Amino acid sequence: MPGIDALADRLSTYLGKDQINLVRRAYYYAEQAHDGQRRRSGEPYVTHPLAVANILADMHMDHQSLMAAMLHDVIEDTGIAKEALSSQFGETVAELVDGVSKLTQMNFETKAEAQAENFQKMAMAMARDIRVILVKLADRLHNMRTLEVLSGEKRRRIAKETLEIYAPIANRLGMHNVRVEFEDLGFQAMYPMRSERIHQAVKRARGNRKEIVAKIEQSLKHCLGVDGIDGDVSGRQKHLYGIYNKMRGKRRAFTEIMDVYAFRIVVDKVDTCYRVLGAVHNLYKPLPGRFKDYIAIPKANGYQSLHTTLFGMHGVPIEIQIRTREMEEMANNGIAAHWLYKSNENEQPKSSHARARQWVKGVLELQQRAGNSLEFIESVKIDLFPDEVYVFTPKGRIMELPKGSTAVDFAYAVHTDVGNSCIACRINRRLAPLSEPLQSGSTVEIVSAPGARPNPAWLNFVVTGKARTHIRHALKLQRRSESISLGERLLNKVLGGFDSSLEKIPAERIQVALGEYKVEVIEDLLEDIGLGNRMAYVVARRLLACENDQLPSPEGPLAIRGTEGLVLSYAKCCTPIPGDPIVGHLSAGKGMVVHLENCRNISEIRHNPEKCIQLSWAKDVTGEFNVELRVELEHQRGLIALLASSVNAADGNIEKISMDERDGRISVVQLVVSVHDRVHLARVIKKLRALAGVIRITRMRA
């Protein structure tokens, strides 16, 4: 393997003498630090940092990144402190090395959690300096190139992590070459046989295609020459993992994928790209709907190019990418190209750097909102998307979102507060469901209302990590405030039976109880009661310090208003509605579940004051409640329509309907109807009874 002198020669093409000497110093420092250590392959350990620096030199990275590459394992593997590196090589290099150093192996419960924690640390370091991720990617790339010395199990684990996290990050930062190599090496390690078979098939197919590729290339060159355009034409090779994914994802045969011929035309400036487009569209007929202008609207990772598909000779499809040399450099090295062009402030790659920063900022925001590392990594994986849709705000600003995004994703992309208070949307000026997937080119307008809150059902259809994380966060806060409020009511209800209340309990007594329950503030204790994790009855005894005496049962039941929110739910087994006699079952983590008093499911714990509490309906109870009815009636035409119109006439609403015939003459219909209370239900049943042929109506209960 080439040594430090060979690397120094390569660096002399774009770095100054002093900078190269600093890189040399870092190399000799790493060589000493890793003295005696060897890699699994038996080579001296320092060959790894040197290889990582060589990968970064290919991208023309700056001298600090190369120094960090030389030293990236020093903190972790040799016990040298960050401070020592800082005094030797400066704060910036020490910070980079620290960012790249993996988390010291903590005792995580699962491999997934360890991986997630490592990634969180990387996200934090990336926010401080984006070069951390570039060094990390180069480190991972060299490890992937030398995977064969590891055991099969370890090889597959590292390959899976690379395909799931590192390849998408490289893609997100626009580093095409690194992503392709990650995917092909990962594919080879995960599925060696599949990889080998596709490799052999590609080799055969390329041999058979040589002639036709040369002919198309010749005709494209000739066409550019006629128009006086100077450009490089080359055939594009599809990589193995890309072929495998297309075969699997689009259910295509290998021959179908290989029947498409791909070419790239690289020219000097942007307006020439559009001239080339006109020339090739004159040469071969373009395929409608397959033209994409990523120059005017770049992809989220900064990628720019014109894409078009043509009908070539004998009707074979030809995919063509047209771009400038800078765009080619950007497409291959992505954000790393930013350092290559750093000298010229007006160069396009600056925007790619800004985009990458924006993405990292988003990742950091996700991290602060996520409940735990696994939730965070799930959000990030969703956000490392390859395909985008481009939509417009009412003022004409372009927003990039992943494929399948909905208006709720759009609302959170605009601003968290817009997402939290969103109640409806207009897509191209028409009212549309919030769950409708957005199409590129649509104009999206969000209708918001002050005081509106996120709906838990949104989690079923949002696509972006940002939306998912913020919805969860808002629901947690909402759930907490509702739990505290319910917990306070439950505790005061029990204390009321003893002529006391939370206000009357001395502060010292409350502090003692908090210490015993290992919580810091009274709100945490009340939240636990509201969530059903602690019993109000037991907490009240502790607060009144009457361990031996039985507390009398609280006077009167607790009134339910129907507005308690997430911590109060209605049992599906007996579907209670206002007016029914009810009890509350305190279920750990769920809060209170309201059952009918005679529901069979709670008959055993019905009189246990630690599990159940007497409830009543408040006079001002609001909301709609589902109730299940079983209607037996003679079979007749238009039966469903008759039932629906009867329920509608009584201001009810049918949520669900299903039917089975008992015999040829009698039908049994199961209806789930939403009503306000028992009086409303009686009105609905009265209307149904008035129908001809109705034999019996039964309200279904457990």
Active-site annotation, residues: 76-77
Q: Is 587 left (phi over 0), alpha (psi -120 to 50) or beta?
A: beta
Distance CA 578, CA 580 (A): 6
Distance CA 464, CA 359 (A): 12
Angle at 679 between CA 678 and CA 683, to 5 degrees: 115
Angle at 419 between CA 414 and CA 422, to 5 degrees: 120
Distance CA 191, CA 699 (A): 57
Q: Which two tokens stand for residue 524?
A: 């945490």
Beta strands in 434-507 (DSSP E): 444-448
Q: Which two tokens stand for residue 367?
A: 């991290």
Q: Which of 578, 486, 585, 499 is nearest to 546 (CA)?
A: 499
Beta strands in 360-474 (DSSP E): 388-392, 398-402, 422-427, 430-432, 444-448
CA distances in angstroms from 165 to 150, 183, 188, 401, listed in the order given: 20, 11, 17, 19
φ, ψ at 555 (rounded to 5°): -75, 125
Instruction: Please answer whether residues 17 and 8 qualify as being in contact, where contact means their C-beta atoms are separated by less than 8 angstroms.
Output: no
Angle at 545 between CA 542 and CA 550, to 5 degrees: 85
Distance CA 59, CA 53 (A): 10
Instruction: Please answer whether residues 634 and 646 qualify as being in contact, where contact means their C-beta atoms are separated by less than 8 angstroms.
Output: no
Residue 489 amino acid letter:
R
Distance CA 142, CA 77 (A): 17
Distance CA 251, CA 693 (A): 53
Sign of the dihedral defined by the CA atoms of residues 551, 553, 555, 560, in that order: positive
* Other CB atoms within 10 Å distance of the CB of residue 218: 11
Q: Which of 487, 449, 698 is nearest to 592 (CA)?
A: 487
- The set of residues, in sequence order, having a beta carbon less than 8 Å from that of 86 and lying 6+ positions away, is 93, 94
Furthest CA-CA distance within the chain: 102
Q: Which two tokens stand for residue 182?
A: 């990650």
Question: Could you tell me how many residues make up the chain?
Answer: 702
Distance CA 202, CA 216 (A): 19
φ, ψ at 666 (rounded to 5°): -110, 135
Q: Which two tokens stand for residue 588?
A: 């750990």
Q: What is the CA radius of gyration of the chain?
A: 33
